[in-house]
Amino acid sequence: HKEPPPGTEAYIPQRFPDNRIVSSKYTFWNFIPKNLFEQFRRIANFYFLIIFLVQLIIDTPTSPTTSGLPLFFVITVTAIKQGYEDWIRHKADNAINQCPVHVIQHGKVVRKQSQKLRVGDIVQVKENETFPCDLILLSTSREDGTCFVTTASLDGESSHKTYYAVQDTKAFKTAEEVDTLHATIECEQPQPDLRKHINKPSPLGSENLLLRGATLKNTEYIHAVAIYTGMETKMALNYQSKSQKRSAVEKSMNAYLIVYLCILISKALINTVLKYAWQANPNRDEPWYNQKTETERQRHLIRAFTDFLAFMVLFNYIIPVSMYVTVEMQKFLGSYFILWDDDMFDEELGEGPLVNTSDLNEELGQVEYVFTDKTGTLTENNMELRECCVDGHVYVPHAVCNGQILPGAAGMDMIDSSPGVDGKEREELFFRALCLCHTVQVKEEETVDGIKRGIHQGKSTSFYISSSPDEVALVEGMNRLGFTYLRLKDSHMEILNREDEMERFELLEVLNFDSVRRRMSVIVRSSSGEYYLFCKGADSSIFPRVVSGKVEQIRARVEHNAVEGLRTLCVAYKKLTHEEYEETCRLLNSAKLALQERDKKLAEVYDVIEKDFILLGATAVEDRLQDKAADTIESLHKAGMKVWVLTGDKMETAAATCYASRLFHRNTQILELTTKRTEEQSLHDVLFDLSRTVLRQLSGDCQDYGLIIDGATLSAVLKPTQEGTSNGGNYKEIFLEICRNCSAVLCCRMAPLQKAQVLHKSLIGFCLTTIRIMGKEGRQAARNSDYAVTKFKHLKKMLLVHGHYYYIRIAELVQYFFYKNVCFIFPQFLYQFFCGFSQQPLYDTAYLTLYNISFTSLPILLYSLMEQHINMDILKRDPTLYRDIAKNSLLRWPTFIYWTFLGIFDAVVFFFGAFFLFDNTTFTKDMWIQHFTLFGTVHVEWKRIYSETFN
């Protein structure tokens, strides 16, 4: 609404939130209660709070200070750390919320802060500005009503995507014209799906929706209306409600705390029982100066309970109160070692690694499975056209053109012969198809990352941008082969042919690419009035829709290129009569205006239109492997990790890349679970055959297995089996059992949703830590991961070196905390046998208070930050050392029991060592009992010296 109806001025502000983004957890008013609530949810903190309250309520042998002061210290330090981190989030939020935006009010463009934006406001966004909220595109500076956007901060893709203005409003160009709009948009409730948007009364879709965080490109300005604001934007919904991740070390700590709590209760019970057994003798009841009244003597149950609580207080230091805060400090400070690592800094991008959470540092040393995309992760995502094949004739840019070998092509393996007259016509039609069937835009000189593009020998030139780097590679390749795409102007696509003559084609319809169809089409009209439908897509999507053409020759070349690791596309066309074109337009418009299931109806229409093609040829694009990608994967394998590659490429292309990157070796036995095989055998039989094959490995066969599965078969595997079917088994469980026994898995022909299904914990329960490869994509997208590196090769050092060190350090820190507290408190237990179980403390209050806070916490903290038990060069050279720490090996129960008994043994040595030291002619037994403070001091000093020596 431009203005609400009279009497409803407060309608929009009350119903919809403002545009503030809130990523912080606390406010000034709720910080103390909310932070205290979160901290006391920890078992150790809550336990010490109870102990402190017990000391305040009943008569205990130690002062409340001994528990209260350490607890206050731990709570304060943790609150300061969390408060500082939240203050940083507040600063970031304020910078975003106070960013100026341009809003149209009363026919003029005015500036206001982003946080003051409301649903229904019409905003003006200029080139290179970021969208302040989710917007419906009303009009643009371009005549055709399109604009171009990069969504790097949302999905990591820096390529340009095309969006379209609402058909009814695209003619409103100026602020005055836009201000005259009166319209109502009824839309669905906010949801996090970035690619879904349905407006019920109006036929609006995701192509009209501009998302917060995306950036306007190659368009002077746009006008758009705010539809979702603040925490209801799709970006905010995707960043909210992250599940709390808990590392294996933290789970072990909690389990150990419960064990030590049981030990504490047992010690208190034993001492309570022994006290009353000791006092059963009337001569040992109470000393003469502490005679109880007869009433007090009869309250045995209450006395027993208070004595039990007193012993709990006396032995409570077996639970390490400062362990959590020390662990947090170790993680927080230790995370800087990744940030400071110069070996992981990328000079080309000027970026280093990112650490978005320090809570999972040690999990970098516990990785068992690595899931990676192929394009842009294993490869450079820098496409280059290697060849194109037209009716069996192969053309290589800069090498072969129209059957002629060009200079510099010597030594290249080429299959080519000069085409005849008909072949030449087909060849030029193929080149025109690739110059027309795309969403590439022409961009003049631009500054990107500080480097001016489009400048050649001092002259301004144009370059291509697109949502797909493959399309740019194809259009640039056509340029080198003699056909140049010039521009899209007034709905006409202009190209320059080999004779330097301009050809104009009117762009009538674009059937955009999607991951289900795996193809895209355009309908154009030539200057002579002929209608053409050009289509390009995956071979599996094009070949079934072809009715003529040299299919077998082109299929053979596609398979050859796929085996070489090249990305292949097929190109086809058909001519349309005017009547056929009119019918096509009618079908498309009917689907676009559907009020329900519009996407489904569009897909059905596309299926009807895209058929009966004539096959023209195929292309092959190369995407080179990243530097040292193969070495990194080989090292991960040696370290015991299993690597899964998830890609949308066809099987042959993906498999070739996997061999090149050493995911598969020549001696790897490949197991195929593909549509081709399931057509020959039932899915049930194939699964059980593969299961029997991998079981032989468990029975002694040391064969290295690799699995290849395609998207269609994966869908069948994950589909719930119907009860009562004859297979009698669970396909998903059998599939996972096969995968667990394969060193590498390749999932090809995968749709984006299927990639998410593989990573989801409902399918595979071992995904915890996420590491994003930033590469050339938007750096802001890395915020949604736990860690980020710039190149795939940096994964090697992050896991094998930093992950190894993090786990070793934190594991020894945790074990040492439990060990030292056993050493400290077990002598207190032994001392009760020498003081008539009178709950007399062995140590002075100062030692009880400071032992955990400073005497023993600071040395182990420094140790856990600096320890390098193995040189990092050795860790990189010998990845098998990573196996030594796998599966939480240093925090298993046998190791924990060893440390516990070591603590008990050392405590016995300390206690009786001091006992016999005092048992001499100078100090009698009576004297050391009387001078127990000196005795306790000797204990503490011995333990401190021993601990520092141990470290």
Tokens of 136: 């419906």
Which among 694, 684, 891, 757 is positioned nearest to 250, based on CA atoms?
Answer: 891
Q: Whole-angstrom Cα distance, residue 625 to residue 643?
A: 16
**CB atoms < 10 A from the CB of 864, how many?**
26
Q: Whole-angstrom Cα distance, residue 180 to residue 106?
A: 9
Rounded to whole angstroms, what are the CA distances from 207 to 149, 489, 700?
11, 20, 56
Q: Which residues are annotated as a binding site for Mg(2+)?
A: 373, 375
Which among 824, 734, 713, 784 is positioned nearest to 322, based on CA atoms?
Answer: 824
Residue 204 near residue 216, CB atoms below 8 Å: no
Residue 42 near residue 50, CB atoms below 8 Å: no
Residue 688 near residue 769, CB atoms below 8 Å: no
Q: Whole-angstrom Cα distance, residue 372 to residue 773?
A: 9
Residue 216 near residue 125, CB atoms below 8 Å: yes
Find the length of the chain. Answer: 951
Residue 156 near residue 779, CB atoms below 8 Å: no
Q: Which residues are annotated as a binding site?
A: 373-375, 471, 513, 536, 567, 647-649, 749, 755
**CB atoms < 10 A from the CB of 64, how many?**
16
Residue 385 near residue 472, CB atoms below 8 Å: no
Tokens of 303: 């006395």
User: Which region holds residue 260: left if phi is over 0, alpha if psi is between -120 and 50, else beta?
Assistant: alpha
Residue 690 near residue 681, CB atoms below 8 Å: no
Q: Whole-angstrom Cα distance, residue 47 to residue 320?
A: 11
Q: Which residues are annotated as a binding site for ATP?
A: 373-375, 471, 513, 536, 567, 647-649, 749, 755
Residue 738 near residue 703, CB atoms below 8 Å: no
Q: Whole-angstrom Cα distance, residue 159 to residue 168?
A: 28
User: Which region holds residue 786: left if phi is over 0, alpha if psi is between -120 and 50, else beta?
Assistant: alpha
DSSP 8-class letter at 352? -
**β-pairing, 531-537 with 393-395?**
unpaired
For 847, phi then psi, to 5°, come to -70, -40
> Which residue is catalytic, options 373, 599, 704, 878?
373
**3-state DSSP: the chain helix, strand, coil percent, rounded to 5?**
50, 20, 35
Q: Whole-angstrom Cα distance, residue 498 to residue 291?
A: 116
Residue 21 near residue 113, CB atoms below 8 Å: no
What 3-state DSSP class applies to 678?
helix
**Single-letter residue type at 155:** D
Q: Whole-angstrom Cα distance, residue 854 to residue 81?
A: 18
Tokens of 250: 């933290």
Residue 903 near residue 823, CB atoms below 8 Å: yes
**Is residue 884 flagged as an active site residue?**
no
The alpha carbon of 262 is separated from its chain's Cα centroid by a whole number of angstroms, namely 39
Q: Whole-angstrom Cα distance, residue 728 to residue 707?
A: 24
Q: Whole-angstrom Cα distance, residue 718 to residue 733?
A: 9
Residues acting as catalytic residues? 373
